[in-house]
Chain A
Amino acid sequence: MSLLSIKDLKVSLPVDKERRVVLRGIDLELEAGESVAIVGESGSGKSMTARAIARLLPRRAVVSGSILFDGRQVLDLKDAALRRFQAAEMAMIFQDPRVHLNPVRTIGDFLVEGLVNTRGSSKKAAEHKVIELLDEVGIPDGTRRLRQYPHELSGGLLQRVMIAAALASEPRLLLADEPSTALDVSTQSDVMAIIDDLCKSRGMALMFITHDLELAAAICDRTAVMYAGQIVEVQGSTDLVEHPRHPYSAGLLGAKPNVSRRVQRLNAIPGRPRAAFEVQNGCAFSDRCRFASEECIASEPTLKHEPGGAVRCFRADDLILNATEGAVL
């Protein structure tokens, strides 16, 4: 049995008087200790997927489908049972640690808060434990750091503090929502390396949300590409980067500037990203896809499972896509 099993997850949020669909049916499995990346543009629903798992969606969100964690239905958890799940089974790391830490409380308060309030450990024992964890994430002088406030630390250090806090509860699943995007380039790779190492050494499953396909491939066993509130392709990370099956995945790979080659003009996918609620009939990507046929415009493809992954494209078998050139027929 998978650690995490998501089936037909749909989410809509109230905007003004209407409801806006943000997830249009997500299917994804994650084994214990496995790492999966969710890649997509802003607004594709990748953060929403993580928030649905962590049960952090806005109060008036309408959610349907199923999220099984170790066989338990996460969507049915309430009050104390929900808090136990959040406190013990999962942990989440957010994009910008500067705003995700309370600015008026010390690093120490933040780090021991979970252990003291949800695990009933003593403050002293908790402090001892988090100082060790700080050392593990590369912050040696933990005792001093505990007394500091978030504004006294750099973004990179704060993100390490966030990672230490996530590890403190010894979760089985780590949700990392663009954990390196808001950081300086020089600290990005450090933070990613720490997450990668710790997940592997502790056998923690990782769901890594990013818009960087190559970073995803470097960290995660598998990669899922999202577009307009759906998964359009899942594959082993290396396979996906080398042989993308969906035109959108190929477009994303092609849009990444290549440092070894000068080009006249950077590749870009034409048009603008579709939001989930804007999608009408047909494939959500059809209006931007060079290969769209009449079938693609008329009806919506399903996520078709195949050896090693799944792809949501009518023409997947007709196309041979090339990552570096964008896409060629």
Chain B
Amino acid sequence: MGRFLARRIIICVLTVAGASFVIFASLYLAPGDPISFLTAGRPSSPELRAALAAQYHLDDPFLHRYLQWITDAFQGNFGESIARRRPVLDLIFANLPTTILLVIMTLILVVVVGVLFGGIAAFRRGPIDDGIMAAMTVSLATPAFVSSIFLISVFAVGLGWFPVFGPGTDIGDRIHHLVLPAVALTIAWWPVIGETARASMREEHEREHVETARSRGLTPQHIVRRHVFRNAAIPISTVIGLSFAGLVAGTAIVESAFQLNGLGSLLITSVTGRDFPVAQAVALLLVTVFAVTNVVVDLLYAALDPRVQTSWSRK
């Protein structure tokens, strides 16, 4: 098991390293010249251009620049934002809490709603199942910005239950501010968990070992809890892991709609503004979250399924 884990971690590090190269390279391949952004398009003297190029290492060979960047990044130095003249790391730390809180709130909602309705749909065949399936389809097909606008107009503007925009100040206020964004994201993501929960519980319920349990006179509640749900938790947890990674990257639209200062909105403003140190750092952070989540999902898998542990220790 130790060796398997070590290998997963090495793969994780290689993934992040490879992604970092692509991230670094793609911003330089993108159209537009960083220097003309730095000078805001005003006519500039060759001396100024040379000074800016030197400050941002724009004239060094590509590989050298990449190595410089990745070494600095490793030490927590992502350079300075071009647009805001502040260290990139400060910007990220300023924006991180909103995103973390939003992702946690959303994940809780998505898992509760998804597993609950997926489970109901799995066992209540007929109109209830059909209704939940239809709701999942509609929900999945609704873009987050549409549900955001709907939620704002009904619950924030219309009923006034929640604030219209902004991240809030203290923790209670922050949570209050993030309810509607979390609901908007939940509308987009609960069908992913719900469909998996429905399919896996239904499949597990048809399994032979459930027949054994029924033949022993165990109550349906016991069978659902200890055999159906316990076993379906394995595929469900995988999808929860993927959803977490997807949510971290996918908060951008909702953050923009609710004008929250999260990582997603930071990525969007930095990309559109050619603030390349910020864009690179945020992209690298997201890739790292993805890769680490994958390792965590693997560990979760082993914790839930004894067969995986055995195959790991054999390798």
A-to-B contact residues, CB < 8 Å: 54, 56, 82-88, 91-92, 94, 96, 99-105, 113-114, 117-118, 149, 151-152, 162, 165, 169
Chain A residue nearest to B307 in the complex (CB): A151
What is the size category of the interface that chain B forms with chain A? 20 to 34
Task: Give the complex CA separation of A47 and B24 in angstroms.
Answer: 65
User: A54–B214 Cα gap in the complex (Å)?
Assistant: 9
CB <8 Å contact, B216 and A118: yes
10 closest pairs, A vs B, by CB?
A: A87-B217, A86-B217, A83-B217, A99-B208, A149-B306, A102-B209, A92-B215, A100-B212, A114-B216, A100-B208
The reply to whether A114 and B218 form a contact with Cβ atoms under 8 Å apart is: yes
Q: Which residue of A lies closest to B305 (CB)?
A: A104
Contacts of B217 in A (CB 8 A): 82-88, 114, 118
Is A169 a contact of B216 with CB atoms below 8 Å?
Answer: yes
Q: Do B208 and A104 touch across chains, with their CB atoms under 8 A apart?
A: no
Contact B211 A56 (CB under 8 A): yes
Smallest CB gap from A88: residue in B: B217
Instruction: Pick the most buried of A84, A104, A114, A151: most chain B CB atoms within 10 A of its CB.
Output: A104
In the complex, chain B residues whose CB is within 8 Å of the CB of A99:
207-209
Given the interface pairs A104-B230, A104-B234, A149-B306, the reply to whether A54 lies near B215 with Cβ below 8 Å is: yes
Report A-chain residues with C-beta under 8 Å of the C-beta of B227: 102, 105
Q: Which of A87, A96, A103, A152 contacts B216 (CB 8 A)?
A: A87
CB-based contact A86/B304 at 8 Å: no
Q: Are A83 and B212 in contact (CB under 8 A)?
A: no
CB-CB nearest in chain A for B206:
A58
Q: Residue B219 at the A interface, CB < 8 A? A: yes
Interface residue from B209, B234, B310 paired with A101 (Cβ < 8 Å): B209
Do B234 and A94 touch across chains, with their CB atoms under 8 A apart?
no
Nearest Cβ on chain B to A130's Cβ, whole angstroms: 13
Contact string against A for B residues 304-315, beta-carbon threshold 8 Å, 1 for contact and 0 otherwise: 111100100000
| Given A86-B217, A102-B209, A151-B306, 17 additional A-B pairs, CB 8 A | A54-B215, A84-B217, A86-B216, A87-B216, A87-B218, A88-B217, A92-B215, A94-B208, A96-B208, A103-B209, A103-B307, A104-B307, A105-B226, A113-B226, A117-B218, A117-B222, A149-B310
Whether A56 and B214, one on each chain, are in contact in the complex, defined by CB atoms closer than 8 angstroms, is yes
Q: Are A83 and B218 in contact (CB under 8 A)?
A: yes
Bound: A104/B227 CA distance, A: 9
CB-CB < 8 A to A118: which residues of B? 216-218
B293 within 8 A of A: no
Can you list 28 residue pairs at the A/B interface with Cβ under 8 Å? A54-B215, A86-B214, A86-B216, A86-B217, A91-B216, A92-B212, A94-B208, A99-B207, A100-B208, A102-B209, A102-B213, A102-B227, A102-B230, A103-B209, A103-B306, A104-B231, A104-B305, A105-B227, A113-B226, A114-B216, A114-B217, A117-B218, A117-B222, A118-B216, A149-B306, A149-B310, A152-B310, A165-B216
* Interfacial chain B residues near A151, Cβ < 8 Å: 306-307, 310
B305, chain A: closest CB distance, angstroms:
6
Complex Cα spacing A99 to B304, Å: 18
Task: Tell me the bound Cα distance from A230 to B299 in angstroms.
Answer: 53
Question: Knowing A86-B216, A117-B222, A149-B306 touch, does A102 contact B211 (C-beta < 8 A)?
Answer: no
User: How far is it, in angstroms, between the C-alpha of A99 and the C-alpha of B218 when the chains are bound?
Assistant: 18
The smallest C-beta distance from A54 to any residue of chain B, in angstroms, reads 5
Chain A positions within 8 Å of B208 at CB level: 94, 96, 99-100
The verdict on A104 contacting B218 (CB below 8 Å), with A94-B212, A96-B208, A151-B310 known, is no
Question: How many angstroms from the CA of A149 to the CA of B208 in the assembled complex?
Answer: 17
In the complex, what residues of B have CB within 8 A of residue A56's CB?
211, 214-215
> 1/0 per residue B204-242: CB within 8 Å of A?
000111011111111100100011001100100000000
A104 contacts across to B, CB distance below 8 A: 230-231, 234, 304-307
Q: A103-B307, A104-B305, A117-B222 are in contact. Are A91 and B215 (CB under 8 A)?
A: yes
Convert B287-308 into 0s and 1s, putting 1 for each residue whose CB lies closer than 8 angstroms to a CB of A. Answer: 0000000000000000011110
B residues 15-69 near A (Cβ < 8 Å) are: none
B207 nearest CB neighbor, chain A only = A99
B209 contacts A83, C-beta separation under 8 Å: no
CB distance from A315 to the nearest CB of B (A): 40
Contact B218–A113 (Cβ < 8 Å) = yes
- How many angstroms from the CA of A84 to the CA of B215 in the assembled complex? 11
What CA separation (Å) do A100 and B304 show in the bound complex? Answer: 19
A188 to B227, CA, bound (A): 29
Point out the residues of chain A lying under 8 angstroms from B234, CB to CB: 104
CB-defined contacts of B222 to chain A, threshold 8 Å: 117
With A and B bound together, what is the CA distance between A113 and B212 in angstroms?
A: 11
Bound complex: CA A100 to CA B226 (Å) = 15
Complex alpha-carbon distance, A91 and B215, angstroms: 7
Contacts of B307 in A (CB 8 A): 103-104, 149, 151
Which among B212, B234, B304 has the greatest number of chain A C-beta atoms within 10 A? B212
Are B215 and A83 in contact (CB-based, < 8 A)? no
Taken together as a complex, chains A and B put the C-alpha atoms of A163 and B213 apart, in Å, by 14
CA separation between A104 and B233, bound complex, in Å? 11
**Chain A residue contacts of B218, Cβ below 8 A:** 83, 87, 113-114, 117-118
